[in-house]
Amino acid sequence: MRKAPVIVAIVAVAAAAGLAAQAPETRASVIARAQVWSPTDVRSMDLFSGPDDPGRFEFGQEIRCKYIDKAMNGRSPKFACVTPAGDELKIKYGETNGEVHGEVAATRLLWALGFGADSMYSVSVLCQGCPDTIGLATARRGERLVNPAVVERKMPGREVTSAGLEGWSWLELDLIDEAAGGASRTHRDALKLLAVFLQHTDTKPEQQRLVCLDDGESADGTCDRPFMLINDLGLTFGRANLVNSNLVGSVNFQGWEQTPVWKDDARCVGNLPRSLTGTLKDPVISEDGREFLAARLSALSDMQIRGMFEAARIELRSSPATGTSSGMAPRAIDEWVRVFKDKRREIVERRCDVLWPAGLSALFGTAPILRLQERSSHALTMAMNGISLFGYTRVYLALATVLAFMYGLRAGAALLLLLALNGVMTDGAKAIVASPRPDAVDSAVQNLDAVFTLGQSFLGDSVNQSVDSEDGYGFPSGHVAVTTAFMFGAAHLFGLRSIWPAMLVLIPAMALSRIYLGRHFVGDVLGGLGVGIIATALAFLALTLGRLTRDKGAIEPASRTLLLAGGCALLALGSGIGPYDSGRFLGLAAGVFLIVYTQLDRHLSTAARTADSPWLARVARVIAAAVIYFVVWRGTNAALDAAGILTTPEGALIAGALPAFALLPAPLFLERVLSFAATYKRKAGHIDRPSHLVGRGERI
């Protein structure tokens, strides 16, 4: 095929352009070494006075400053002013702004427990030149009294930024590598549980800071002591909510009192709904993390807890009265202390290593894992990691793409849709069951998964979670589910008899590898087998994807699958469960529908097969598909990041859909365009030839 080298050249240039636009990243290595906690003597901390920093303020101290007209980030009322000494301050204020109370209390708590936080002080501000909308007029001309108000002092540290990224996503917290010197799983889970305890609802990346605690900046700009902290804790001591409402999420007594710490009674899953812009949702907490936070919370005395709420002047904050829309009822500090202790008791009395009823304990116990890991060796671990590497959905999608362009386009398209459907079903099962992984239950279980610990950037470098994200949920095993779906699908669609005996070896081997590596319980891999079988049955019996291989009637399964994918996308947007994988399913379904509806593959020898096409042509299509997918994926993520919606459910859906949509139709369309251009060129050349050459061996 003469035009195949042209295709390769074009997509190679596109790939080079995409790679050239990428700036070198050091962010991942900094995060891998980051800490989230430092030791403190909890019992000796003065939560009323707060940190004894050089720039500290006394409780209720009167501050005089001159208003600065500058834009301030965020929705809560705030302004900037400068003191006579030239100290520029950031002031939060407002009688109905819960953040002036919640942020003081929350930062004091994190500071006392050893987690990083800015310092917040309750003050009274006399503002010279403040607008009439801020504070109350005083006897002094041009001066207004702003009370209640809080002033912020940043935690010392040099900001670490990379490629324009601000803050950090809670998803990135799991990229910390203890082997590289980063925070332990215990400390990270304790921080997540503390966010649940506080009902920290506004968890978008800019609400966290990545700082360097080095005394000075090194010559090469590296950071020896990276630290990750929560930057804005105003929307706390309430109830996490979808739109980060101040009234609901910030110092809402009834909301905080009535919201349990744990999502349910069966598992150790924190009860924290994700907001539209949030990046933390219902985290799975390990027993070590729970025990660590419980011990530190238990070290707080009643006097310290009271001092924290007194410093926040929390008794001035009103909460919505039950059953009314306008009634406001301030709560005494004693009531806040009582609820604090009740919620602390929920953490102290929970055990995160008791997960399932007795009848299922055999399937979800760590004994089989520990027995396997007792016989571990370097060679065996490498072999198990090699098997596990082939259990990622992205790997099977790549294999299905190769099969589509090398052996059968329509059959490969049906296989891709099956794998995408399986991913959506796995996401849903993980979210519904919310069962933690073995190493979160028993610290004796080792995580031996090299792909997870060392190669996260290869298989999961997108901030959008998918079934490959290795999140805290274990049931069902995504590796076993996608392996099962791929093997059954390939055997049925391509008629490869050799797959059946391979299936009897690969599926058990995949299950064994996931158990040995400490990533799943026995019950998880059995659940993965079930999900894979159910997904296959749904694909072939309900969606009739097998009919895609025949021209006649192929539009029906394509239409039916597109409708199902659209429904899954809407559910994902509404629930926040698996929007990336739902987007991928929707994109593939739309691409297959486009091919079937427009007969985009009609230039092939048959609509269902490509095996009798020239070998070079088939290879060119595979290369084109890979490069086009990569370029669209990179471009989509960059555009969504620039728009600030990459980490939202909508952004995740788009990030999954657009590259998947381009995967199959784009190479075919490119080939059609190049073929048309070549034909036009030959015809034009024939017309331009002298008439005496025509007919002498020259043929159009």
DSSP characters over 385-426 = HHHHHTTSHHHHHHHHHHHHHHT-HHHHHHHHHHHHHHHHHH
> Cα–Cα–Cα angle for 291, 283, 208, nearest 5°?
95
> pLDDT category, 72, cuts 50, 70, 90?
confident
319-354 pLDDT, tens digit per residue, is 444 333 333 456 789 999 999 999 999 999 888 765
At 509, is the secondary structure helix, strand, or coil? helix
Q: For residue 600, what pLDDT is reported?
A: 79
Query: 61-68 and 78-82: which strand pairing?
Result: antiparallel
Does position 24 have pLDDT exceeding 60, yes or no? no
Does position 220 have pLDDT exceeding 60, yes or no? no
The structure tokens listed for 9 are 């050249």
Q: What is the mean pLDDT of residues 357-374?
A: 78
Does position 40 have pLDDT exceeding 90, yes or no? yes
At 158, is the secondary structure helix, strand, or coil? strand
483-533 pLDDT, tens digit per residue, is 999 999 999 888 877 788 888 999 999 999 999 999 899 999 999 999 999
Q: For residue 1, what pLDDT is reported?
A: 41
Q: What is the mean pLDDT of residues 361-379?
A: 85
Higher pLDDT, 464 or 222: 222
Q: For residue 65, what pLDDT is reported?
A: 94
- Longest CA–CA separation in the chain, Å: 107
Does position 291 have pLDDT exceeding 90, yes or no? yes
Across the chain, mean pLDDT equals 83
Does position 419 have pLDDT exceeding 50, yes or no? yes
> pLDDT category, 671, cuts 50, 70, 90?
confident
Q: What is the mean pLDDT of residues 648-672?
A: 88
Does position 421 have pLDDT exceeding 80, yes or no? yes
Q: Which domains does the chain have, with CATH numbers?
A: 59-158 (no CATH), 161-348 (1.10.1070), 380-677 (no CATH)
DSSP for 439-454 reads: HHH-TTS----HHHHH
Q: For residue 113, what pLDDT is reported?
A: 97
From the list 417, 700, 414, the residue with the least C-alpha distance to 546 is 414
The structure tokens listed for 646 are 């990459």
Rounded CA gap, 585 and 562, in Å? 9
Axis crossing angle, helix 4-20 with helix 665-688, rounded to the nearest 10 = 120
77-90 pLDDT, tens digit per residue, is 899 999 999 999 99
Q: For residue 598, what pLDDT is reported?
A: 86
Among the residue ranges 345-354, 383-392, 560-569, the one predicted with the least confidence is 345-354
